[in-house]
Amino acid sequence: MAMQIVEKSGEGLSKVYGVTVSAASLSEKLEAKIAEIRPQMQLKGFRPGKVPALHVKKLYGKSLMGDIIDAAVTEGRDQALNDNNLRAAASPDIQLSSDLEKVLAGESDLAFDLNIEVMPEFTPIDLATIKLTRPVHEPEDAEVDEQLAEIAKQNLTYEKKTGKGVKAAEGDMVVADFVGRMDGEIFEGGSMEDAEIVIGAGRFIPGFEDQLKGAKVGAVVTAGVTFPEDYQAENLRGKPAEFEFQVKEIKAPKESAIDDEFAKQLGLEDLDALKAAVKGQISQQYVQASRFKAKRALLDVLDEAHDFPCRSAWWRASSPPSGPRSSRKRARASSPKKTKASPTRNCAPSIARSPSAGCAWAWCWPKSAATAISP
C-alpha cells in the first residue's frame, strides 16, 4: 500500500514518525476487496455472485474500510521500523490525527503518528568474565525441630476439662449454643448450635470470645457486642447486639506430641518421613534464596558494566518497589543524562525474615552457610 512516512522528531531514544495513506489508495484497496468478495456473496434479491459492487459498498463499505485501515496502520508501523532499522523497546504508541469517520467514508486521507521507544545501542560485557558467589546450606537438625514445633502448635488438639468448678480460660475451647438478638429480636445468621469458640483466637467479632472467660459448664452467659464498621454484612455494620450462650462443654488445648502418630495424622508414614519432608521443604527455600542472591549479584555486575540512556517509561512498566534506593533509580532514569540501567533491581527490606519462613534475602542466611564459587 502506498504511504508516506516522515520522521517528525528523533531525540534520544524517542522517535516520532508521521504516516499518511491517501484516500485514493484506501479507496483502491476497498474496490479490490469488494471485487474479491463479490463472487462469494449471496444476498436476497440477487443471483449468487451477481450483487452490484455499489450495493456491496453501501452495505459493507465502512466495515471493509475498517479492516483496510487496520492493515494500513500495521503496515505503516512495520515499514517505519524496517526502513529506519529500529529496534522497538515496546509496541509503538499510535495516535490518529485524521477524522476517522471521514476516512471510513473515503473523504479524507488516513494520517497517524507513531511514537516509538527504541532500544539503546551498547556493547554487552563478555559473560565468560563474570564470576558469582552462590551460597549453599544444608538444613540443620535444630531448624527441622523448630519447624516441627511450629507445625505441632498449628495442629492443637483439645481435651475435655473435668472436675468441680472448671471455668473457661484464655486459650480454652468453649462448646456452646448461642442466639443473637438485636433490639430484642433474633436476627438471621446470629444463632448456632455446638459452636466451637476458642477464647483469644480472634475468629469472631471483638468481645464475642472474651466474655466467655470464667464461664462454667451449664451456665447461661449473656454478652453484649457491637459489630465492626467493616463487617461483611452491611445491615449489621456498627450495630449493637446481644448474644445468649448455653455453655455445654469446656476443653483445654493440648499440644500434639511430635511422634509417629502425629506424622500419620498429617498423612505421612512415620516421624522420620515427616522430618525428611520438613527438611526437604526448608532446603528448597534455601535453594530459592540462593538463586535469588545469585541473580541479584548478576544484575549488579551487569548494572556496573553497562552505561546507556534509559527512558522513564521503561521504569514505569517494570513497576519497581518503593524505597529510597528505587526512588533514586527512577530519578536518574528521568534525567536526560545517561544512567546505569537495571530496571529489575529490587529494594532490600529493612527487616529480613528467616529462610524457614520463605525468606529470599541474602542477609537471612545463617553464619554456618557455606559458599560456592561458580562462573
pLDDT digits (tens, 9 = 90+) for 93-130: 999 999 999 999 999 999 999 999 888 888 899 989 99
Q: Report the alpha-carbon distance of residue 106 to residue 61 in Å, rounded.
A: 9
pLDDT at 312: 56
Give CATH for domain 157-254.
3.10.50.40
pLDDT at 311: 64
The full set of domain ranges for the chain reads 4-117, 135-146+266-374, 157-254
Q: Residue 117's beta-bridge partner residues?
A: 14
Domain 4-117 -> CATH class: alpha beta
* Closest listed residue to residue 183, CA positions, set 247, 233, 235: 235
pLDDT at 328: 34
Q: Which residues contact 319 (CB under 8 A, 6 or more apart)?
A: none
Tell whether pTM > 0.95: no
CB 257 within 8 A of CB 266: no
DSSP class of residue 127? G
CB 220 within 8 A of CB 229: no
List the beta strands (DSSP E) in the chain.
Answer: 4-9, 14-21, 93-96, 110-117, 132-136, 157-160, 173-182, 185-198, 220-226, 240-254, 370-374
One-letter amino acid for residue 331 of the chain = A
**Which positions of the chain have pLDDT values less than 70?**
311-375
Q: Report the alpha-carbon distance of residue 94 to residue 110 in Å, rounded.
A: 12
Burial 60-96 (b: 16+ CB within 10 A, else e): ebeebbeebbeebbeebbebbbeeeebeebeebeeee
